[in-house]
Every structure is written in structure tokens, then in C-alpha cells.
Structure 1
Amino acid sequence: MQQPTTRFQSHPAGVPLSTPLPQTASAPTTTSKELVHSSIDDSFYFRALEKEGIHLNGPQIQAVRHGQGPLLTLAGAGCGKTTVLAARTGYLIAVRGVPASQILLVTFTSKAASEIKERIARIPSIKASAVRAVQARTFHSFGLALLRQSGHHEQILSDFTTRHTIMKILLRRLKAGETYQPETLLAALSSWKMSGEWPSDLPDNTEEEKKIKNILLAYEEWKQGRNQWDFDDILLHTSALLNDPQQLTKLQSRFAYMMVDEFQDTNSVQYDMVQKLSAGHRNLMVVGDDDQTIYSFNGARQESILDFDKVYPDATIIALPINYRSDSRILGLGTALIAHNEFRRPKQLVAAGSVGLPPHYASPANAEEEAAFVAGHLEEQVQLGKVSYSDIAILHRTAGSSRAMLEQLLLRGIPFVQYGNNTVFYDQTLIKTVMDHLRLSLNPRCKEAFQSTLGPLYIPREDGMSYLDEQEKRQPKKYPLIHLTRWDRLKPFQQDAVKERIRLIKKLTTLKPIYAIQEMRRLFYDKYLEAGDPLLHTQYKETMIDSLDELESAAAQFGTVEQFIAHADELTLRHQQMEAMRDGDAGDAVQLLTIHRAKGMEFRHVYWIGASEGILPHSTALKDQVTQEMKVTNPQKLESSLAKAALEEERRLAYVAVTRAKEHLYITSPLQYHGKTAEPSRFLKEAFGIK
């Protein structure tokens, strides 16, 4: 439970209390009311906005008034970019007389597209018919509409679970099901396509590459045979469609004005689409923030913004510096933190947000103490009536780094919503395999645990389970896995491996849980995972070892395997009960999510947990050698610049975490992580001027 030594303070550990707190200046209070005089021709439009409570500041007015030619709008966190996009759309229609049907707004989520449409609809001088005529779409929605008009009728294979199942079936058919992981192959294929390449162009220089290419081409053939596309296919085929001069000229004439939201998140294919569509008229407005480029693993390119005026030398650049979200001390921390990145466009945000409190910092001993402390603190805030659960977000770097926090929320009965992963840590596929070996050590006849053990033995799961069921009906055994040693489909070395595994399972229950896990990892599991993840350009390697190290940290609290399994099963049960009670309605609940998922969101109270070296910045960004993934996806860059890029992306993640908070920001830096000493994140110290 909460330790008396853990408490929030005004400065991070290691920073002298006399050090001034980072703080931004207050924003000017002048708006369109003072800045746009009634004698000016377009004043009627700004008066109409003001009646709706929309009071634009000076730089926002500049962006809204922009006429023809390329425009880069640098919109920092909480600076009202959606308001500007909607207001400029309305301005083009109401003041410049641009037909609404000639305006194309492209963004990344359906929610963002709908929100922009709603904002345009609230502008009094814009008719409902004009609102309907404006094309506000996601890249995928826009591309699919074009492809449908061009005669493509493919079904869209949108569900990841379905794609995962298809890949699993193909792997089994190609006898590669125990060597490669479906999710890894699908991620690699997506990465390849989003770099603008077709599956047929996949490399096949080595035996490994040939095997992978055959599997991925089999997946593509499966889809083609059933007239299906996945989301990446939509963008690839749209880009190909735009290579047709006749089609492209037609579209350029149709859409005389183009605006792109979250421009820093565009991958190579999307960037190519934007350039082609706007090439005819060059009336291109892009809105984004290079400081929030945190999706490089999905192909996002910071250069889209950094090099915009090199691609468009006549571009106008307008910065939106007024932040309407955060307290000036919270914004000050974020601004001081991100200023240490070298590859960025300099910008100085000023605060117009509601007044809250300066950020608070704590240094709990480890992740367990951190979770107990944060859960206790937020419970106290709710009980005092200062905040509702739904006002609170807990942000973390990786899925594994939320494990202790999730357990505390479950054990205390605090309602929460977990974004992106709706399972307890111990039920995740990677972890469940290890847990099922422990379950078999307690009960060797635990049928539910058999399937997990077959994968690391390189035995086809479905076939192996069928054989075990059949043999058990004939002659039940205390250790049913022993049947596999007499299965004629297995080679002698595989049968020997089964015997070794049974001997290990018998031994596990005599060990402390942490040693049992370490023994499994040493003998077979880490090697199995590496063999099952041979692709160099996937994001999974980063989290795989991290999650297993987290499992060891969790197990270290327990003296016996039985206690550890009972703890995991109790958490699973509580989680199922909480989900059943909620029945899809989040209600008044804490939001637990990764920093990546929190981008674009804001909360009254934010707890950023795991603000320590090795967590954020993540250990993969602190190694002497950069990950192979970065080398593969950036072949043109020197290794030294890649290492710097990796650290700068981590700093951008920290910036995003800080700038989600409106009134209260609590930052915790555990002093130990996975059994090793951890310093508070360098990003916090840098913000206070300490190198």
C-alpha cells in the first residue's frame, strides 16, 4: 500500500528546490473583436463567429484569411487548430465565394472529420447545403470514394482479428505456423505498403526473406481470390489512381482548395497523395505540430513539416502560439522540455488556459509503490469532491509499464477504462504462454493450458490438441503432454524436447515464481520469441522483452507459484466482473492509456507514471546501437543521426504527455525499474536547466 516516504513535491528529484519553475508568459487577450474593425470588408464574418462564441486571436485570423498558395500552420498543443480549420473553410465560402464542393479537408480519424463538419455547421453565415458539400474525410474514406467511382468494388477487410486468423491459417498451410507470428507479419506488410511499395516488390535476397515474401504473397493472393482489400490497399490503389494524368487533372479541378489536419502524421503514401492532388492549384493548407510527431513506427515523417518551405519555397508560415488548454506552469514544463530537441521548428507557446496548479513530482521506490501511491492519491481527490474519475487520465509509455497500475485499480475497485487492450496483463498472449507453463506445474492435467505450451515446442497447436484429446480418451496420463513423445509425426529431437519440457514443468513448482520465469526464459522462451519474430522492421521487438521483464517484476512479490497464479486469476476475475457491470458504458471511470493513444486528447487531471530513465526515454532509445527497425525504415540516414532521432522522438512523447493536462499534472519517477536503479527522466531535469 501507499508508503509514507512517497509524497508529491514541487521539483523532480535531483533538482534544487531553489530552481525556478518553468512557466510561459500569459497570452494577449485581444481577439477578433478588437483586431477586426467593423469598417473592414470581411468584418461581417468575424462578427458572425463572435455571436457563436468564437473569438479568434491574431495568428488564427491570419490563417483564416489566407487566400491562395501553400500555407503551413504550426498548431501547438491546445492551440485551436480545429477551430481554425473550420473557420477558414467558412471564410472561403462566405467571404471569398469559393463553392463548398471545391473544398477538400483531409484528416486521420472519422471523429476529427465529423467534428470539423459540426464546427462549420455552427457558423451562422454558412448554409446547411454548403456544409454538406464540403468534403471532410479521412485519407482512407476519401481514397475509397474515389476508387468506388472508378469501378473498384472490393470488400474492405477492416477487422484485425479476421486478418490475424487468415494469416494464422495460411501459416499453418505453409507449415510456418510455429516459426512466424501473424501480428508481426501483418505489421511488417503494413510498414512495407505505407512506404509506398507493393507486396510483389518485397526483398527476396536471403532464404529468410524468400520465406517471408512467400507467406505475404499468399496472404495477398487469398484476399485477391475473394475480392478483398485491407486499409493499406486503399491508400496504395488511390496513389496508383492518381498516377493517371486524366484522373488527376479532373480531381485537381474539382478540389481547388485542400486542407490537411495532423500533417506530421502523414506517411509516404499519404504525403504523395497530398502533393499530387494539390499540384495543379497549390492551394494547400497543412496544419500540424512537428513536436507531436510520435508515430514514426507507422511511417509518420517529421520532415513533412520541417521541409515544407523547401518543397514549397513560396509558402506562408503561420504559428498558432496561444494555448487554451493548460495552466502556464504545465505549459511551461512542456515548452522547456521540448526546447532541447534539435530537429524542430522553434516556437514559443503562451498560456490562455484556465489556472490550475504547477506540476507535482514524486519518486516512489518502484512500480508497485508508484501504483499504490497514485491510486491512493486519486481516490483521495475524488472523495474530497475535487474531481470525478472521468476527469482523470493515467498515461504510460508501454503496455507493460501499466501492469502494476492496472492491478491497483482492480484491487481497489476503482472504475477505469483501458484503451487499446481489454485484458489483464497476465492474459496477454505473450505472457499467457509463460503463465500456462506455471499452471501446468500446479496441475499437469489443466487442459486450458496445453495449447500455450505447444507453440514453443514448434508443434502445430490444433493438430497437437487433437492428438492429445484422442490419446487421453484412450489412456489418461498424469502428465498428458507425455503422449506427444510417442506421436509419429514428431521427429526424435522434438520428442526429446517434449520430455525436457515435462521435466522443467515438474521443477517449476519448486522454484520461487521469479526464478521459474527466468529459467523458462533462459532455456527456451526468449529464443522461441526471437525465432518467431525474424522481421527486422516491426514495432513488437521494442515491447516484447520489456513485457517479460515486467512479468519478472510482478512475480518477485510472491513466494510460491501457487500464490502468483492465484493473484493473476483473481485479477482476471475482477476485470471480467468490472467489464460485465459496465456493459460497454464507460461512465465515471479513470482512463488508463498509453501516451501514443492520448495524443489529441485532454484531461483536467493527468498522472504521467514511469517518468524514469529506461521507461521514458525508453531503453531502446538509450542503447549505443539503434534498433534494426530504424535502420531498415531509414536506410538513407547515418546511424548517429538515427540514434539522435530515436531520443528526440522519446522527448516528443514526454511533451505530449505533459500537454494533455489542463489543471493538474502529477509526474511519478520510480527509483527502480525491473530490479535496476533508475534516475528520474532526463527530460524533466533538462526542463529545469540540469544537463
Structure 2
Amino acid sequence: MSSSPTLNQAQSQAVTHDNGPLLIVAGAGTGKTTVIAQRLAWLIEQKLAKPNEILALTFTDKAAGEMEERVDALLPYGFLDLWVQTFHAFGERLLKAHGLDIGLSNDFKLLTPTDAWLLVRENLDKFDLDYYRPLGNPTKFIHAMIRHFSRCKDEMVTPDEYIKYAENLVLDSDSALGDAKEILGDEKKRLYEIANAYHTYNQILLDNNALDFGDLINYTLKLFQTRPKILETYRRQFKYILVDEFQDTNLAQYELIKILSAPLQNLTVVGDDDQAIYKFRGASISNILHFKNDYPNAKLVTLTENYRSAQSILDKAYQLIINNNPDRLEEKLKINKKLIAKKTITGQIEEIHANTGIEEARQVVEKIQTLKLADEKAKLESSWNDFAILIRSNATADSFMHALEQAGVPFQFLASKGLYREGLVLDIISYLKLLDNYHENPAMWRVLNMPFWNIATEDIVKITHQAKKKTWSIFETLKHASALGVGETGIKNIEKMLGLLAKHAELARYESVGKVAYAFLNDSGYLKNLVTKSAEGVSESMRQIMFLKQYYDTIIKFEESNAEKLTKHYLAYLHYVLESGEEGSLRGTDEDPEAVKIMTVHSAKGLEFKHVFLVNLVEQKFPSTNRSESIELPDKLVKEILPEGDIHLQEERRLFYVGLTRAKESVFFCHADDYGGTRKRKPSRFLNELNLPVNVIPAKAGIQKNPLDSRFRENDNKKNILAPNAVIPPHFSFTQLKAFATCPLQYRFAHILHIPVKGSASFSFGKKSNTNPFIGRSFNFL
């Protein structure tokens, strides 16, 4: 192989295994990707298989692309016919080619979860629902049902099996009397309802020539099970099959590769049970735990030489994860999985303890600055990219973003969701809503505050106060701006804005929503301002342009999928999309600006950083509270062999382990006593399991507190979207305090700026405040 890196003994054994099943247990940082690429290249170079005779299955397109690139670099000439794909892409490819053989059209539509929600909502009357269709909120359980149906498909439970189970539900009339009999009867009725809904759901998909992601695997299984000639064709083609991240496969995916790899059984699976963190996606850890039971003659190779972390960090990680025994491969197969560091560096492990969540964030930022400065003084290679703040959920990122921003430290929040909460996207949607209805007060307020109109804050306050007083819409009040003391410049700027509104409202009558949105961005100067600042290297503007492109992709998708493309049609569609709970996907880019990275531990899997900060390490945050599914799959229908211990706690511990093993040189365990509320928070039990050294950065004393302190301090994380000179009154009424406790933004808009909503003096607020730096869903802007 050209430019082949040196392999250690275990890696070499894995790469050069010829025939038969192979289980590679690859610990964190042990060179798993290198081994996979080398193995693919070795099979080709040894002429054991041609490139198109090897099937390599991964879980992300990014992983598939990286694998192909590495193999291409190892071989003397390129191969374009490698089958390196995700499970779903593989299923889609086969069904596009052979769907007709099992009664499917080969031009089917693949539905996202949001697409499925919209389809179910549109056909809700076809479902015979009672229990799962409350009169006050008939769409309440749509998401839960779709997740339930997805779980059924992961477990290979068909609608017929489900209905049969409901019919055979045992009701022993002799032992079940009175209330017990009534309860069992209600349960049977509920199961009948959900089983029949599952059947209806699948039928609606077929009627609409649509498949969901679970169908891609299940229909491929059906293709192989009912069309033996097609199965035999692909068995002959794929002499070797390799599966990456095997611990993340579900039962249906495992069944697919078992069928396809027979009878040769040249099946290589690579994984680590200690990094199984996708149970919520349907992953079954039992697959890797029981692989040796299914393939008793499988060769086992364990990779334990770690090329990433200091030994002290690896020792702490091992000390933590053994608490999942006996439900680990190390115990079940009697192997040694303790990782051995190849780097001779001294790791730094510290605990940061703060009084409050805000103070925790400040101490984290101070530590980042100290480490960066120390590296620079020592003339070591130093970059903000060396630092990662790992959070359990995106909702907890705000305090760290705020602290980094206050300190002038560049940061990048790598969230996978939240496009529809981004400021630029909210601006566009608010403007489009105004074109459909000038009297949409929250949208008008947002548009008024766009900086390129140059409308003074004091003028906006005058206008909104008058609108509140007269119970007018803001649009109606703008017509009387001169009578309110708005100056000549303000009147001129308001007239400019209203003129564009009128122009674009006319355009919206006959042009597509994409053209209307572009006209707004172009005519207002919004786009020019973004492009100019981006060219000057302003990172926030570059980020906003990325969001703009991603948002426009959603508009293009809407226009491609709908015959009616006007703004009013798009807004009606968007209403249902948002009602479904869709937040909008945020995709990363190939560009990697130098910045501290903030991301969830799930997102950090596969990455590494010089310094890692694991934050918010208190009970009920990490480990998180166990939230069971709204609709549970009956135990008798679950085919997965479940571990003996606490399933949720074990997964949370594995997630903590993944976060810990991202660190190369230092890791900081951070927690606070107060994140709001009245009770002092308990440190995470995982900290006790680590038995940390004494070098704790202590909580800083003397932080002032009062009954509203935590509320105000948490709200400090919001971007300043109000007038800087807005005055907080010296006394609070009960109504004001109640409004503040419900939502700080609600209080500030209702009782300081007095912004009205359409048709009444009450307000359009959501039920809880959104922690996004932008207004987000605190207002019903959308």
C-alpha cells in the first residue's frame, strides 16, 4: 500500500484477517478509521476482492466520504466503484433498483420526520383514534406515534404482529376482577388503537408513494427474504462486508447484514460497547454484546493502544466506565479493554466548582484564557480550536456563549438544530408575515428594530406605547408617527420601510416566495450589509450567510415540492412545520474558523481536543432525567436482549465516557450549586465515581443574591434586544412578578415597552422562555 502508516500488532491482525467473521473492539482513540481504511485497501491489493465486491456500511455521509478518501490515498490508483455508504443510502439504492419486485414504485419519496408529521396531520381523519386524539389537542400524539412506529420498524415488528399481540392479550377473568379487569380492558383497547394506527400509517405512506427511514431497511429485508434470486445476486457480489460503529446498529440493520453476509460470513464489524450512545435513535447495544454468540468462530481483535489522550485521562475514563459492569464486553468476553496511552504527556485533570451557573461559565472562560496565554508564553502551538466546551443539551449553551462573548473570546456553537430560531431567519419570516398581514404586531415590532431602517429606539418606544394605549396595531400607529413626536429623520425612515412593504406586498401576489424574500434582502440593504461585513472577515456575518444559504435551501425544497409557491402558501406550510416542533436543521461547513467549540457530547463523538470542559455536571442535568417514551413498545414485542442494569444510567455513563475521552491533554469537570430554583444542586454521581484529586478550583465567594437574582442573571444571557435605556420600576405588582416568573421577556415586553398584539391588549407569548440568544419562541413571532 502506498504511504501506509505503521500499524501496531493488534491493528495489523485486524487489517490482514482474510476469511470469516471478525469483531474489532476499537477503544476511543485507537486508530479505528485507519484500520478500516487499511483493511479495505488490503483486501483489494491482495486480490481477495475487487472494489465493487466490498460493501462498507457507515452511519453518516461524512464518515463514508472520509473512508473513501483514505482508501483512495492508500491505493496506487483510484477506485470509483467502492460501495461505501450509510445503511439508509444502501437501502435506498437497492429499492430504487428493485422496488418494483416487491410492489414499490422506484420513484418513491423519502420522508423526514417532519414530512411524516405533516402527512399524518393531513390524513388524521383516516386514523381511528380515541385515546391518542384528545379533543383539545388532536395533533398532540402525532410525534409520539411516529417515533413509536419507527421503534417498531427498528425492532422488525410488523402491523400484523402488533395487531395479533393486541388480540391475544391475556385477560384472565378469574383473577382479574373489578377495577383490575377494567384496567386490562382499557389497555387492550389502547393497544388495538395504536396497532391499527401503525397499519394505517404504513398504508398512507404507500398511498402517497412515500417511505420513511425505517422502511428503507425493512423493505430491503423484505426484498431479500421474498426474492431469493436478488439476494443471491448481491451475496455473490459482496464477498466482504464491513460495518463501522457496529454498536450503533439496530436489530433490523443487524438482520440485514446477517442475511447478506451468509453463507461465507466474511463479515467485519468494528465498534466499542463503551461508546454506544444512540439508544434514543433505536440503536441496540445487544448487537455488539452478542455478536460472538451469533458467530462463535469469529476472530476477536481488541485495540487498546490510544494515540490521543494522556494516561491519567484514560485511567479516569476506565475508572468511570467499569461501573457499567457486568453489561460490558470486557466482562462478557473476558478481554482487557483498558486503554494504554502512546503519548508520554502529563495530563491535567481539575474540578471547577462555582456558586452559580453564570459563575461556572465565567470560570470556564477564565481557565480557557489562562491556558491559551500559557501556551503562547511557552511559545507552543496554540489555537482557540484546541478548546471544547461539551454540554449535555443545546439548551444549556447560552451562559457559556455569553461569557465567551463578554470576554472577547471567539466561539462557535455547533448545534444541529435551531435554524428557525436564528435572528436572520426570524427577520425574513417576520417580514414575509407582514406582507400577508400588515397588522401582525410581533412581526412588525421585529421588522421595525432591524438596524438598516435607522429608526431610533426612542421612536420605536413612542410608537409601541401609543399602540398599546390606543389598542391599535403598530402598523396603524405608524401612520400617526409625526403626531407622536417622531422627528423628521424618523418619519423619512419609516416611510422608506412602509414603501418597501407596499412594493413587496404587491410582488408577493404573483411571484414565488423565494423571489419575494430575495427582493426584501436586496432592496432593504440587508444582504449588502451581510456581504460587506463577511468580506471584512466579521465572523458573525459569515455565520449569518451560512444560515441564509441553509434557510434558502428550505424555501427551494418547498417550491420544488408544491405547485402553489406564493408567500401566503409558504406561510401556511411553515405554520404546520413549526407546529410539528421542527426547529430547522443546522449543517456544519467545511470551514473551521478558529474558535472555542461549544457542542453536545453526542456531537463531539469522533472528535478530539487538546482541552475539554465537561460542564453542568449535576444530577438531573448529567446524568439527565430518564424520560420514557410517550408510547412504550410492549415488552413481549421487544426483540432486543436488554442489559441487566439501569439502561438509562448506563447510557448516560457511556456518554460521559465519550466526552472524557475527547480530551488529549486536559479535562475539566465543571459544576455549580445554583442553576436557578430554590434547592442546591447535587454534583453528578459520575464525579464521585471518578474519585477526583483534591485540586479543585473553588467556588468564588461573595456573589450577591436576592429572590430574583438567579432569574435576572440567567436572563442576562439573552442578547440585548430591548432599548438600553428601558427603566425597571422600583416596585413590582403581583401580576408583574407572575409574568416575570413565567417568562422574563414577557415581563419586559409587556410592562416596560408595552408592545400590543393583533386585536387585543394581551400578548402572544409562548408558555416558556426560549434560551436562544435571539427572541426565538418566547414570542409567537412565527
TM-score range, shorter chain: 0.5 to 0.7
Question: Following superposition of structure 1 onto structure 2, how do residues 361-440 of structure 1 map, counting pairs within 5 Å?
Answer: 361-382=351-372, 385=376, 387-409=382-404, 414-422=410-418
Describe the SS at the equivalent of 1:153: coil
Q: In the TM superposition, what is the alpha-carbon distance from 1:79 to its structure 2 partner?
A: 0.8
Q: Does 1:231 align with 2:213?
A: yes
Which residue of the partner structure matches residue 269 of structure 2?
A: 286
Deviations 1:325-350 (A, max 9, x none): 11222222112211222111221111
Instruction: Please state how far the C-alpha of 1:135 moved relative to its aligned partner.
Output: 1.5
> What is the CA–CA distance in structure 1 between the aligned matches of 2:121 and 2:406, rounded to whole Å?
36
Report the equivalent of 2:11.
60
Q: Aligned-pair distance for 1:392? A: 2.4
Q: Say if 2:586 is the partner of 1:580.
A: no
Contact 2:21 2:267 in 1 (8 A): yes
For the residues of structure 2 that align with 1:406 and 1:217, how far apart are their CA atoms?
46
* 2:339 corresponds to: 349
Structure 1 stretch displaced more, 588-597 or 81-90: 588-597
Alpha-carbon distance, 1:215 to partner: 5.6
Match of 2:110 among 151, 157, 168: 157
Match of 1:652 in 2: 654
Distance 1:637 1:92, change over 3 A: closer
Deviation at 1:268, TM superposition (A): 1.0
The aligned residue for residue 166 of structure 1 is 119
Paired AA for residue 180 in structure 1: K
Specify the alignment match of 2:140 in structure 1.
180
Instruction: Tell whether the 8 Å contact from 2:286 to 2:643 is kept in structure 1 after alignment.
Output: no
Structure 1 pair 633–361 and aligned structure 2 pair: CA distance change class (3 A): farther
Specify every segment of 5 or more residues in structure 2 that has no aligned partner in the other structure, as ranges: 128-132, 167-186, 331-336, 424-438, 444-468, 474-537, 548-588, 694-782
Give the counterpart of 2:32 among 55, 60, 81.
81
Aligned: 1:146 with 2:94: yes
**In structure 2, the residue corresponding to 1:369 is in which secondary structure?**
helix
CA pair 418-164 structure 1, distance change in 2 beyond 3 A = farther
Per-residue deviation, residues 296-337 of structure 1 (Å, max 9, x unmatched): 122212221221111111111110111111122222211221
Q: Distance in 1 between matches of 2:633 and 2:346?
A: 43
| Distance apart, 1:607 and its partner CA | 1.2
Contact 2:97–2:106 (Cα < 8 Å) also in 1: no
Whether contact under 8 Å (2:150, 2:214) holds in the other structure is yes
- 1:170-209 pair list within 5 angstroms: 170-171=123-124, 177-199=137-159, 202=162, 206-209=188-191
What does 1:292-691 align with in structure 2 at a 5 Å threshold?
292-342=275-325, 343-346=327-330, 347-353=337-343, 355=345, 357-382=347-372, 385=376, 387-409=382-404, 414-422=410-418, 447-448=441-442, 579-580=543-544, 587-620=593-626, 632=634, 644-673=646-675, 675=677, 676-688=679-691
Which of the two has higher C-alpha Rg? 2
Deviation at 1:230, TM superposition (A): 2.0
* Stretches of structure 1 lacking an aligned partner (at least 5 in a row): 1-47, 428-444, 450-475, 481-573
SS for the counterpart of 1:146 is helix
The Cα offsets for residues 254-303 of structure 1, whole Å up to 9 and x where unpaired, read as: 11111111111010110100110112101111110011111112221222
CA-to-aligned-CA distance 1:366-387 (integer Å, 9 cap, x gap) = 3222122223433454566574
Q: 2:384 & 2:635 partners in 1: Cα distance?
A: 41
Distance 1:620 1:74 in 2: 28
8 Å CA contact retained: 2:352, 2:670: yes
8 Å CA contact retained: 1:265, 1:300:
yes
* 1:124-139 superposed matches below 5 A: 124=75, 126-128=76-78, 131-139=79-87
Change (3 A) 1:588 1:630: farther
What residue in structure 1 maps to residue 741 of structure 2? none
Aligned residues: 499
Greater Cα shift, 109-118 or 68-77? 109-118
In the TM superposition, residue 393 of structure 1 has moved relative to its aligned partner by: 2.0
Match for residue 262 of structure 1? Answer: 245
CA distance, structure 1, for counterparts of residue 680 and residue 633 of structure 2: 30
Do the aligned partners of residues 166 and 353 (structure 1) sit closer, same or farther apart at CA in structure 2, a change above 3 Å counting? farther
Q: Secondary structure at the match of 1:330?
A: helix
Identical counterparts, % of pairs: 32
CA distance in 2, matches of 1:634, 1:479: 60
Q: Is the 8 A contact 2:245 2:272 kept in 1?
A: yes
Q: CA RMSD in A?
A: 3.7
In 2, Cα distance between equivalents of 1:656 and 1:187:
26
Deviations 1:377-403 (A, max 9, x none): 334545665743333222122333334
Question: Greater shift after overlay, 600-609 or 310-319?
Answer: 600-609
Distance 2:421 2:645 in 1: 30
Q: Tell me, yes or no, if the aligned pair for 2:144 and 2:629 is still in contact at 8 Å.
A: no
Distance 1:642 1:348, change over 3 A: closer
- Alpha-carbon contact 1:170-1:218 (below 8 Å) kept: no
Q: Greater shift after overlay, 133-142 or 73-82?
A: 133-142
In terms of mean alpha carbon deviation, does 236-245 or 166-175 score higher?
166-175
Distance 1:416 1:108 in 2: 25
Deviation, 1:423, is 6.1
- Judge conservation of contact 2:618–2:684 (CA < 8 Å) in 1: yes
Task: Check conservation: 1:71, 1:286, Cα contact below 8 A.
Answer: yes
Structure 2 length-normalised TM: 0.58
Deviations 1:580-607 (A, max 9, x none): 2665766233332221222222222221
Alpha-carbon distance change, 170 to 365 in structure 1, aligned in 2, over 3 angstroms? farther
